[in-house]
Amino acid sequence: MTYKIVDQALDQYLLQYECPAIGTELDDVAAMDYAFFLAFKGLGKTWPNPMVGAVFTDADGCLIGSGAHLRCGEAHAEINALKNVSENGLNHKLSGGTLYVTLEPCCHHGKTPPCLEAILQLPIKKIVFAYLDQSEKVKGQSIRALTAKGYVCEQRLPSTPYHSWLTRVFLHQNTTERPWVALKAAMSLDGSVARKGDQRKFITGDRAREYGHFLRAYYGAIAVGCNTFFLDKPRLNARHPLFGEREITKIIWDPMGEGLIRSAEVKPILDTWGTGFPPAIWVCDATYLKENSAHAQILRDLGFSVLGQEELIQFTAKPGGSKNSFAKTSLNVHALDQLLQNLALKFGVSGLLLEGGPGLWTPFLDAARVNVGHFFVAPQLMLGGERLNIIKAELSGEKKNISMQSHTLTLLRDDILLEGLF
């Protein structure tokens, strides 16, 4: 197991980054770091496309133009960077120059023409890219075509430890047709996430919560359990100095239909969301949806899409117990994958942040469907009262240890942030 101590979280890196001026001499590292920064200008707005940044330098390595893919259906990063070169009156400086781009250029027709065609018309000498596009439509074809035409093609990653954030959601969704699933949890030193009845009291400080809002925008969709929904009455949007206030896709996790029967309590919570909120999805097992169809219709009338997944929940009977006596419940992994594919393909969910609480986190961990964890640890012990731990023991299956890989440690003022892959 490896870990790195990181000076600052990604959002702070982006806030403090100083953009180079036109004419600044950039080496390969500096140019690619600038392209990485630019890519995040499309944060939360480019799906199903990835975030991409691009930078042009002249033959002497001086900056002549830059751009990013800002929104799905609009020009890609390479084209916007080329437009910027023209706006700067520096087209003549392209000869012998270099294009730095965070992802291999596209070579297929979609909502916009392929960037490869435009690049092949340029008098530049070299293309430096951070990642190959592993999607079926590209998969190295552009780099091979550019190399065949005599362009020098080199791969170089940004220097930031967060460079994989640019493509991991996009590449995962393209290869699995499921969202990249992240778990976010704030806890005390003893692993408690709240005392019962105290769910609305914050454990971590302002800086940790600010970063949590950045994660909401990065993933674009947030899921909370129905108990968290009714107890906390959250707005479930994203608020951060990088982008102000932004609405994201909201998912209420209610596999056993416990929240459906409380449909009359939902409207006051939605009133805090305002009008025109983006897709809001209520998820439960199809059996409970059928049993509570009237309540489901109330939710639909309020603007929810109500998804009933067949056989989402599976039960293990207690030995010698009655047919209605169960030792535990767990997720049917096959049904969960179908649900996740539905969220990706029908609702455009490419990244999914599981934000609370233990009744949501545990079954996803148990089913091995969490890709990355973001754990905030506050320097406090939670003494007294009945505590809620990060794992809901009665939902977990066989005894198992789940280890994080390649994780980082970051200090967020008084709190510690631990992030890593599962």
Residues with catalytic function = 78
Amino acid letter at 219?
Answer: Y
Residues near 46 by beta carbon (within 8 Å), at least 6 away in sequence: 52, 69, 70, 71, 72
Beta bridge partners of 403: none
- Residue 121's φ and ψ, nearest 5 degrees, are -90, -5
- Rounded Cα gap, residues 281 and 284, in angstroms: 10
21: exposed, middle or buried (Cβ count in 10 Å: 0-12, 13-18, 19+): exposed
Rounded distance between C-alpha atoms, residue 317 and residue 315, angstroms:
6
- Closest of 33, 367, 20, 381 to residue 192, by C-alpha: 381
Nearest residue to 351 (alpha-carbon basis) of 225, 229, 215, 240: 215
Region of 185 (left: φ > 0; alpha: ψ -120 to 50; beta: rest) is: beta
**H, E, C per residue of 249-307:** EEEEECCCCCCHHHHHHHHHHHHHHCCCCCCEEEEEEHHHHHHCHHHHHHHHHCCEEEE
Secondary structure E strands in 249-325: 249-253, 280-285, 304-309, 313-317
Place of tokens 């490896």: 2
Q: Which of 161, 182, 144, 126 is nearest to 372 (CA)?
A: 182
